[in-house]
Amino acid sequence: MIERIDHIILEAPGFAEARRLLQQTGCPVTWDGSWESPTGAMRLFGVSVGPINIEVIDVAPHPERNSGVRSVAFDPGEIEVTVSELRDAGFNPDEPTEVNSMGHHFLDGVPAEARWRMAALHELLPGMSSFLCQYLAPQPHFGRTSADSPIRFVALEVAVPDPGAALKTYQRVLKVQPGAERNGYLLPLADTPIRLVEGDMVSLVLEARPSDLALRALPESFPAIRWVDTSGR
């Protein structure tokens, strides 16, 4: 079954500036460089924000698209088992395929090869594109790399036109019991919770430990990022 969010991929038309800002935050870097994706070469920069990684990819500027969440990768545990369970429940995920990262540039001390198995879920969960990602190397749960990141992941907030209707699918796929909140529902997916609210945008809710200019500048490059309400939301 799906265990948690592993990483979240953000699009950044202003990739160089986005990368610079993330470097300045002091978050541990997990990926940095170009690699050959199934659709061609792309640049990728990743940082750890506690329970998950944020991975930023370079995309061409588009007048109708700002920086936002491209897709969400879920840790499936054993991917073959999870795909089978989803099919038994009436869903149609892709067949798992193995991918390797030859062509990635890793920091010193990190193995030069990473391997993982993926299965696309496409738009199975209302409001987001998602896929399953089971790391085989350099270690399982590769996205969970640092407990002392200066930025901490709080929740993934998915805004959809009808949260109540979407909730039924989320429950069937994630197999968790939701809690009602003032403006929607909270799905407690291990330490990577998901909030369903009314609207039409996917947002990363983050908490910053220190206060500095780099952190405050992040939302300018990433409208999909917002900071947790320190009054105790």
Residue pLDDT, tens place only, 150-191: 888 999 999 999 999 999 999 999 999 999 988 899 999 999
Rounded to whole angstroms, the Cα distance separating 52 from 57 reads: 16
Q: Evaluate the omega torsion of the peptide bond into residue 138 and state whether it is cis, within 30 degrees of 0.
A: yes
The model's confidence at residue 26, banded by pLDDT at 50, 70 and 90, is confident
Residue 227: enclosing H or E segment and its boundaries? strand 225-227
The model's confidence at residue 129, banded by pLDDT at 50, 70 and 90, is very high
What pLDDT is recorded for position 166? 96
- The residues near 37 (Cβ < 8 Å, ≥ 6 apart) are none
Residue 60 has pLDDT above 70, yes or no: no
Task: Please give the single-letter amino acid code of residue 17.
Answer: E
Residue 90 has pLDDT above 50, yes or no: yes
Looking only at the bridges linking them, the beta strands covering 194-198 and 225-227 are unpaired
Residue 213 has pLDDT above 60, yes or no: no
Under a CB-based contact definition with an 8 Å cutoff, are residues 12 and 67 in contact?
Answer: yes
What does pLDDT average to over the chain?
A: 82
CA neighbours closer than 13 Å in the CB half-sphere of residue 175: 9
Residue 68 has pLDDT above 70, yes or no: yes
Q: Domains for the chain: give ranges and CATH numbers.
A: 4-139+147-227 (3.10.180.10)
Q: Is 183 helix (H, G, I), strand (E, B) or coil?
A: coil
The model's confidence at residue 57, banded by pLDDT at 50, 70 and 90, is confident
Under a CB-based contact definition with an 8 Å cutoff, are residues 50 and 56 in contact?
Answer: no
- 230-50-224-4 Cα dihedral, nearest 10 degrees: -110
Q: CA quadruple 48, 129, 36, 96: dihedral positive or negative?
A: positive
Residue 6 has pLDDT above 70, yes or no: yes
